[in-house]
A = this chain, B = another copy of it.
Amino acid sequence: MPLLTLTSDIGQQDFLVGAVKGQLLQANESFNIIDITHHLSPFNYPQAAYVCRNAIRNFPQDTFHLILVNLFDEKPEHMLLAEHNGHFIGCADNGLLTMILEEVPQKVVALPLDKTQQKNTLYVTRIFAEAFTQLLQGRNLENIGDISVSMQVKNPLKPMLGNNWIEGQIIFIDNFENVIVNITREDFEEQRKGRSFKIVFKRDEVIDKVSDTYADVSEGEKLALFNAAGYLEIAINKGNAAGLFGLKGYSEKQQQHQYLNNRMFYQTVKVYFE
C-alpha cells in the first residue's frame, strides 16, 4: 500500500478532512493515509514549515506527502508537485515548500488548475490524487506537470547571528508548554566554536548548559535541550515553561500588526558565547 501523509489547517470538526480522504481513496483505494496533523496554523508559515519538515523526514522513501495549507492565499493557477530526497510533496505555490525543505526542491512541476473550475480544497485534492496515481503508474514527474514553473520562494525563518551571539525565534510551543526555538544543534555548535555559553530569555532568565533529558534537573527547574527534531527547547521539568515565562510563538500575523503586540510576551531567545 503506497504511503500518503496528510497535513492541513482544516481542524478536526469539519467534513473536509474526511472528504479529502474519500477523494484520495476514490483515486486509489490502496493508499495508506497517515494523518500528520490538521491543526497547522494557517497564517504561521514558520510553524507550519517546522511541523511538516520534521514529520516528513522520518517517513520512508517514496512516500507521498499532501500538504493542504493556505491553498487560496492568492488566486492560484496551479499547484506544486515536488520530488526531493526520494519524497513526493504536493503543496500550494505559496512559498511554504521552500520553507519546509530549507532549499529549492530537486525537482518541481506545476499542476495546472482548470480556469473554469471553482478552486476549492476538494478540487485541488483531485488534482493531486491524479498526479500521485500517475507517479504510481510509473510516469516521471517531468511528464505529469509543467517543468518550466517559476515557483514562489520564501526563505526559512533563520536565527540572527553575531560574533558572540545567536538569536532565535520561538517557532512552536508543544503540548507540555515546552518552547521550541529555531536554533538547531548545528546552528548552535557552528556559532559556539567550543566556547561556553549563556542562553538568555525573558530578559534575565539564564541557562548555561544543555541537558540530555528533562530529568537532568530537579522538578520545577528550567533547562535547555535539543529536542527530537534537533531544535533548541526551553523547558521546565514537569512544568509549563511557556506559561510561566510568558513565552509565545512567533507569528507572521503578529508581525504585521506589531504595534498591537502584547508586551508581556517574549518571542525570542538569545545565546551569548564567551
Contacts and interface: CB of A to CB of B under 8 A. Distances in A.
A7 B10 CA distance: 16
Interface centre among A175, A216, A238 (most CB of B within 10 A): A175
Given A11-B174, A226-B118, A215 B75 contact: yes
B34 A25 contact: yes
Interface string A32-63: 01111111101100000011111111111001
A29 B10 contact: no
B22 A60 contact: yes
A142 interface: no
Interface residues of A, number: 69
How many copies of this chain sit in the oligomeric assembly? 3
Interface in A109-127: 118-123
28 contacts: A1-B1, A1-B29, A1-B30, A9-B176, A11-B175, A12-B38, A13-B40, A13-B174, A13-B175, A14-B51, A15-B54, A15-B229, A16-B174, A18-B34, A18-B36, A19-B58, A19-B228, A19-B229, A20-B58, A21-B34, A22-B34, A22-B59, A22-B60, A33-B34, A73-B215, A75-B215, A119-B213, A120-B228
